[in-house]
Amino acid sequence: MYWGYGMDAGLLLFVLPAFIFSLYAQARVSATAQQFSRVMASVGTTGAQVAEELLWRAGVRDVRVTRTTGVLTDHYDPRQRVLRLSPGVHDRYSLTALGVAAHEAGHAIQHAVGYGPLALRNRLVPVVSFSSQSAIPLFFVGLIFGSGSLMNLGLILFLGAVVFTAITLPVEYNASNRALRLLVDNGYITERELPKTKEVLSAAALTYLAATAMAALQLVRLLVLRSSRD
């Protein structure tokens, strides 16, 4: 079976920029979070306290704020209504801690007010968890055995994963915008601290942008491979 070295090399060069961007985004979010974890906010309120108070002010009473393990493992669990913060965010009052805590509180507030893109993303989670694991194996089994139907099924499943990553972008940017507005409006950060906190959240958003670019280019690669078998 001839795979076409020139075509495959061209596809690799096509996807390579997105891969490099993904590595850059991960490095930047790590470096930025670490940098501003050493800059203490003037208010002296921990990430856990900020998250709890922001939720209370927004009228969200059914979400618990808990401490989890790891570094930058912070997330909001909409099924259990739990906002989990890593030790460096939960226990500290750095600009990184406040920014991340407010961002996750933003997700909980999105859930409470029925923010459309978040609701759609939550509905897609069960489907995407299956499709993201099955799409590539199905496609390449179809490619190896010359089954167009299997390749098409793999493409459809992978398209679902791409849509999911695309929907994630507005969800994350909206949560960050909410976080910045809430932190300033409620006096947790000063106007002078705002640019640094915004930098933390902007760096984190790059990882989602990179993931979307990678998924989209991978889909293009699969489509080109599919067309080459016709």
* Phi and psi based region of residue 40 (left: phi greater than 0; alpha: psi -120 to 50; beta: remaining): beta
For residue 66, what are its two tokens? 């808990």
Distance, CA of 210 to CA of 165 (rounded, Å): 10
Is 53 part of the annotated catalytic residue set? no
- Which value, in Å, is the radius of gyration of the alpha carbons in the chain? 21
Which of 104, 172, 193, 199 is an active site residue? 104
The packing angle between helices 95-113 and 47-57, to 10°, is: 30
The residues that are catalytic are 104
